[in-house]
Structure formats: C-alpha cells, structure tokens
Structure 1
Amino acid sequence: MFHYKHNSPQILSTSYCMSQRLYSPKCALGCTHVKSDVFIDSLLSLAASKDLSNFSCLAIVFMSHGDELGLYATNGPITVKFMTDQFKGDECQFLIGKPKLFFIQADRGMKLDHGIVSRPTASRDETDSRGGNEVNSNEQKIPAEADILLAYACAPGYQSYDEQKRAWFIEDLVFVLKNIPPAGLDIHQILTRVAFLVSLKCKSNNGSSDKKQVPYIVSTLTKTMYLRSNVDPGQVQSSYN
C-alpha cells in the first residue's frame, strides 16, 4: 500500500513502493502469506485511521491467487467488494473526494484467452459530450461510490499469467510507472500503456504460444489524476483535479 501526502510536492517513491515492494510485499496491511482475518482487521483499522486525512490518495496492491468469487488468503477468501467498501465515502470520511486505487493481481477464473486475429479498421472521430446540472455551492453531495479505481490483472473469468514468478500485469505496471515522462500521464493513460504491453505477451501451453491476457479497469474517478516525473530518481508527483 502507498499513499500520497498533502505536502508540496506530493511525492510517491516508485522505487520503494512499486519496483521493490511489489515482489516482496511488506506493507501497512501485513506481509506475505497473510491470513484473511488478519488482513481484514488491518483493513478496518486503516479505514478508521484519522491519519488518512493527511494524505491525498490511497492505493492498495493485492497479489495472490483468486477465482470468480474472490481473492485467496492463507485461511480463507477475501472479496474485492469488501475491500473497496471500507474506503467508500459513506464509510471512510477521511478519503472523501480523494482517489482510491486498487491494483489486483490474481486469477479471476479458469478461462483461457486464445487471442484473435486483428485486422485494420477505419478510424473515426471521437466526440466529447457533457451533461448534468452545474452546482454553484461550496458544499455538495457526491456519490459514495465515487473516486474509486480498480485495476485487475485480467478480465472476469480469466486466468492471469507470469514469467519466472513475475506477473505480467505487475511487471508492466512497474515499468510504466518508472518511465513516466516529465510532462506526466494521467492514471488512465498509464493503465492503457500497461494494457498494451500486457496484450503483446503470449503464454506457452503444451507447445502452443497462444494464451493472451489483458488487464481490466473499472473506474468511478471524477477528476483527472496525473502522475509526473520528479527530479529525484524513482519519484513522481501527483495531482487530482
């Protein structure tokens, strides 16, 4: 897990939080081989912590096995819904209006993606539309489900893959985060690049290298979250507006 502090500049050390710790996770919610009850207790304690008011973002990385029903801990399952529910606006007031990111590296079923043949298609112009009523008030209600992003390693029902015990999704996520250009990228651009890199890979199975994977993103973010390179090695700045 990693946070963004309100202090200026807002800094995330990718070398600490991502490239090193994702393959040997020892974080605020526990260590490797965590038990479900220990994880849940730590999750509830974190969600109730007033310290969260000092941070402008929350991100949790969960790496395990899983299936259609949830994620595996050493002594029982954990559902993604339970995890995200603890940080919704109506449960965790300290993170209201702040981005809450969840990166899930786990299988979501047993289906195999054999890939398809891609053929060029005619391009079309993208349109931008706006809707809703403008609210002129310093205080307004926002949806309890707002400002949450879920980045799964694979689509529902499918398996995720790794090479030499390095998961495709996490490997490419680390790579993109460590190579953010100085001008910055928003979180959706970052995850689009990750999806592209993952989609290029093939998994060998019984002599056939045709198994594919693509990350699956679900987002209710209401603002653009930018990550920008910092002058210090392995660090980036963030903003959400």
Structure 2
Amino acid sequence: MKRLWKYMEGRKGFAALMVLVGAGNAVAQTGGWLLVRNAIDKGIVVRNKQGAIVGDERHLTVIIIIYLGVAAAGWVLQAKLIRGLATIGQAVVIGLRRDLFDHLTSLSLRYFSQQKAGWIIARLTSDVDAVSDVLSQGMPTLVSNVILLPAAVIALLIADWRLGLIAFVVLPPTLIISRWFQRVSHAANVEQRNRIGAVTAQIAESVSGMAIVQAFNRERRFQAEFDALND
C-alpha cells in the first residue's frame, strides 16, 4: 500500500472528505441502534402509575420519524462513500497501469528474450485487475468497518457498559484468529496469483503461436501442458 500512496497525489483532499463521509455513516448507523433502544425503553415498555406496562405512542412516533431520517442519511452517505472510494481506487489503478507500461517499454531486449510474453501479459492484466478489485471493493468495506468499529464500541458502552465489557471478552481471540487467517490467506493468495499468471501465460503463448503449433502437430503436448497448469 505504501507504493500505491504516490498515486494519491492530488486526491488526498477528496480522500479526507471520504473519511468524513465514512464517519458520518458510522454515526448514522450507531445512532439508529440507540434510537431503537430508546423506542423500546420509552416508547413501548413504559409503566404507568399503577405499574402496568403501557406504550407511549407519541414518543414512539417521534422516534420512528427520526430513525427513518437517520437511516436515509446513512444510506446516502454509504452510497457516496462507496462511489467516492471506488473512484479513488480506479484513479490509482489507471496511474499504476500507466507506470507499468512505461516501465515495460524501458526494459532491455535481454529481458524480453528471457521472459515469456504471456507471463508479462499476465502481470499487466490479471495482477492489476486483482489490485483493482481490492481498491474498488475491499477499500470501501475496510474504511467503513475501521470507522464503524469505534463508533459501535462507544454506542455499546452508552447502552450498557457492563454488557460492553462482556462483549470485549471475545475480542482477543477474534484478533488472534484474524491474524492467523491473514497469514494463511496471504500465502494462498500468492500461490493463486502465480497459478493464474502461469495459466494466462500458457494461453497467450499458445494463441500467439497457434500457427506454429499446428504446423508441427504439437496440439496434444500444449494441451497436456495446459492441463498440468490448470489442475
């Protein structure tokens, strides 16, 4: 991610605005939870002077109207956040593709004679597409959750600090399991990218040299090589 930070030049102000939008979305979500709590405690479960449970329809109506407004605002902010971060991600990918192609044209002839053209194509397509997916889909989720987590903790402590402390008991095991899964998934993802690159390279080499393959009757050998890579 540090290498991608240079592509944020000229977009840092917009990124800061998206962080504020994410904070507003987190406040809207946690505020909705607190409004539901208030509606139950003071609008539905209300005791009269005789101790009987009665509802306060007026209070409940007001809370419902406020909740709908907060939910609508949260939906708008969420949509703006997803669209804005996706725009930033695609701008970063465009800059990355441009720099990769510029770097490719500056390489020596020796590099192209030693490296397969299909492998180069795989790096410029499938690997960059993977980065694009992370920036366009993963980044909005990451930003939303990073901002929402502290807001949810604060809302939980406001609702019931004792229940909040009990909920924190599961936090250390969750962090340990998440860290373990991160290491395992990273290794699996690297292996997946290597396999996809190898398959893409094999396809590109086969298609570009199909006339030669058919001329020397090497279809079965290329099919066997592809099956070995694709398994």
TM range (shorter): under 0.3
More strand by percentage? 1
More helix by percentage? 2
Using CA pairs below 8 Å that are at least 6 residues apart, which structure has the higher relative contact order?
2
Instruction: Normalising by structure 1, report the TM-score.
Output: 0.24
Instruction: Normalising by structure 2, report the TM-score.
Output: 0.25
Task: Please say which structure displays the higher CA radius of gyration.
Answer: 2
